[in-house]
Amino acid sequence: MEQARGRLAPVDPETLEQSGLNAAQVHERRSAELTNTVAHESSRSIWAIVRANVFTLFNTVLGSCLVLVLLVGDARDALFGFIVLANAAIGVVQEYRAKRTLDRLAVLHAPRARVLRDGKEGEIAVADVVQDDVLLLRTGDQVPADALVLAAEALEIDESLLTGESDPVTKMPGDTALSGSAVVAGYCTARVHRVGAESYASALTAEARRFSLVNSEIRNSINRIILYIAWALIPIILLVINGQMSAHGGWAAAIATGDWRVAVVSAVASIVAMIPEGLVLLTSISFGMAAVTLARRKVLVQELPAVEGLARVDMVCLDKTGTLTEGRMELAGTTVFGAVAGWEEVLAWQGAHPNANATAAGLAGTYAAVPAQEPSDQVLFSSARKYSAVTFGPGRLAGDWVLGAPEVVLAAGDHSEALEAAHGASGRGLRAVVLAHRAVQTPGGGEFSLAGLEPVVLLVFREKVRPDAAETLQYFRDQGVLLKIISGDNPRTVAAVARDVGFEFTGDGYDARGLPEDLEAMADVLEHESVLGRVSPEQKKSIVLALQSRDHVVAMTGDGVNDALALKHADIGIAMGSGAAATKAVSRLVLLDGQFSHLPSVVAEGRRVIANVERVANLFLTKTTYAIIISITIGILMWRYPFLPRQLSIVSSMTIGIPAFFLALLPNGRRYQPGFLRRTLMFAIPSGTIVAACIMAVYSYAQAFPNTSVGEDQVITEAQTAVTMTVLLVALWVLGALARPFDKWRSLLVAAMVAGLVLVMAVPFARKFFALDIPSGGLLTATIAVTATGCVAIELLYRFLKKRGAVSERE
């Protein structure tokens, strides 16, 4: 980029500051690729999606098995290869659809930058900012690219998301405003001097908007299972290969007679059975489909585990303004204490200020006569300071005018009448601010003093509570989720709004200025305080950390820059669509239309994902358990493997693959319960052991009492058919247990699988293709008896675990 900058025509600094770049200069920088475009996407690339779904450890093992079967065995035994390809294709297609939907939303709702070009102010996409652009930054804006401040008015920038420093940094002309930081007070013009990958924004936005599958109980548990299976595969595969070669007369004899080919195919069948190839796929599909479903409801999921995460949340911290209320203020009344000439004009000036906050902006509709006199100095509002001030020189408006929280502005001196009026207004759910005046101007250059101020007028504002807030909060209460309101507003104002949305408590709310700094002591206070006012941005973060220290899973909602730090540290950060760019960048969920009532649907999707993936995991891990037990047993006994790969393909498809796909997407409203991995293994290991015992019982009978009236190949075929029937029927009972409670769709799903089994056994072509020959005599009797016993054992296990709470039918 340095070479590209060196080729640019020089720009006159004075002209640039007054009118910004012209069209020719913008074109020159675009041609030189000096734009703010970053070479990353808001989601994984197509190649990354293909790689993640195709080039996996299990697919590598299964692909090697497929090649072996095609080289030395019957092509019909390569059926599992088509299933692997279908799984990978489904995964790629589904994740690409999710990627496309989320990318469109990310572009549609991406933050925009305000720039000066050709002497005109305009908004452009952040990616369209070019080198030397003049940025116009105001309160709430996120700095889109590294820039040098040209001119500033009381500019304070929050760099906490970059440096961890919680205190806002005052910036003067010549200072650098780093991309990714946020303006919390004042405004400025700034010249961009680093763009694209060179700026902080490239790293911040890439990380904040990445399509990720991380930090999830489900995914962490499944990754642990896969790791254990992967390590177990190595010795088991060696044991199986040796056992199959020994079963065919030993290594030398098998190689000499060519029976090694049969041994290889049997070893492949064992390996294929042990791998839960569809588990990761269906988990990813469940997350992706949930994200797409929520996107249609105007909820942008910026990190996929957030879908699961909100269902696990047991504590929701709510910002008041813009979350419980609509964020718009309207003037509800005034009380004049000591009329000073020009106070209405001062209020008009405050309301018309380009950097006015929501409260000050609410003055504009009532006070419109902006004074012609320009102020000589001003102190812009910040949430930490809780007031703004303006100084006018000699004339009708002469003196210092301060607008802010009465308890802060009037702290020095005896102003009981004004403070009591403010207290009464706050108790009625109104926001009270006072305009105070001091005729003698304070000397410039030092800390602004609040001494000597006299109240002029008390202004009370009301916030409109969102119509869906009370109902949504009641939903969370019904789900056992604890709620806390943390706001920078007056505690009594916060308490009044809390009562409007259904909080039941006595008192005036807790003043957070009295919160201890120690997290442990703060957590003790939060055990019994749920409505807090006068909370600083740093305290919001500390409150989240304190609650997390008590093992709470915390969600935080907010819309302002002062919420960004808490959103970043919460387990689930939820931003309103109308919120500041910095707030949306660090959140995991964005309510695009600002409708608080969407949150229950996010919880419902999370519950569906967790409960359905748990069911699917039980199916896959039951198969993996019985496959491992059979492989080890057969390897030790040096018997022939009891299945052909094609027979295991039909078992996997009808008892796991097809039903698991539908079960993963069906509705499920079961409440979240911690212990996903423990519950899954508590069912899968014993149920898999039961299935393995049934298989080995039937196979042992076939080995001990072979049908002497037929040839050896027929004996082997009948034995394989008997164990295939056994595993199909017992595994279908497992499916029926996990599909409960039955509704129309689950009943239809299980019935369809049973019908498929009947068709496979009844249609001659299917029996021939899968090498099935229904046994007769004692083997058939043994098969029926063992299968019935296995189904009863599965049923007893299910009912036992249901009483223990390890499985649940409640939805």
Written as six digits, the tokens of 2 are 């340095």
The one-letter amino acid code at 677 reads L
Sequence-distant (≥ 6) Cβ neighbours of residue 127 within 8 angstroms: 35, 36, 37, 38, 110
Cα 507 from Cα 491, distance rounded (Å): 10
DSSP per residue, 526-582: HTT--EEES--HHHHHHHHHHHHHTT--EEEEE-SGGGHHHHHHSSEEEEETTS-HH
Is the Cβ–Cβ distance between 656 and 80 less than 8 Å?
Answer: no
Written as six digits, the tokens of 501 are 């949305």
Catalytic residue of the set 132, 319, 508, 559: 319
Number of Cα atoms under 13 Å in the Cβ half of residue 552: 26
Angstrom distances, CA of residue 398 to CA of 274, 353, 390, 491: 84, 19, 10, 34
Q: What are the residues facing 533 on neighbouring strands?
A: 511
Cα 664 from Cα 615, distance rounded (Å): 8
Angstrom distances, CA of residue 529 to CA of 49, 469, 809: 46, 20, 36
Cα 571 from Cα 313, distance rounded (Å): 8
- The continuous run of DSSP H or E covering 136 comes out as strand 134-137
Helices and strands (H, E) in the chain, number of each type: 31, 21
Rg (CA), the chain: 34
Nearest to residue 566, comparing CAs of 98, 160, 175? Answer: 160
Written as six digits, the tokens of 74 are 């019957």
Is the Cβ–Cβ distance between 1 and 198 less than 8 Å?
Answer: yes
CA 224: distance to chain centroid?
A: 21
Nearest to residue 158, comparing CAs of 131, 128, 186? Answer: 186
Angstrom distances, CA of residue 280 to CA of 52, 441, 620, 686: 10, 69, 10, 22
Written as six digits, the tokens of 765 are 């072509």
Cα 203 from Cα 206, distance rounded (Å): 5
Nearest to residue 674, comparing CAs of 741, 594, 589, 610? Answer: 610
Where would I find the H helices in 248-326?
251-257, 260-274, 279-296, 305-312
User: Which of left, alpha, beta for 180 (phi over 0: left; psi -120 to 50: alpha)?
Assistant: left
Written as six digits, the tokens of 559 are 């819309």
Q: For the CA atoms of 191, 195, 200, 206, what is the dihedral angle to 10 degrees?
A: 140
Beta-strand ranges (E) seen in 306-427 are 315-318, 325-336, 377-379, 387-392, 399-404
Nearest to residue 406, comparing CAs of 425, 420, 419, 397? Answer: 419
DSSP structure class, residue 678: H
The angle that helices 712-738 and 777-804 make with each other, rounded to 10 degrees, is 20
Cα 280 from Cα 220, distance rounded (Å): 11
- The distance in angstroms from the start CA to the end CA of the chain is 58
Catalytic: 118? no
Q: What are phi and psi of 593, to 5 degrees?
A: -95, 10
The residues assigned a catalytic role are 319
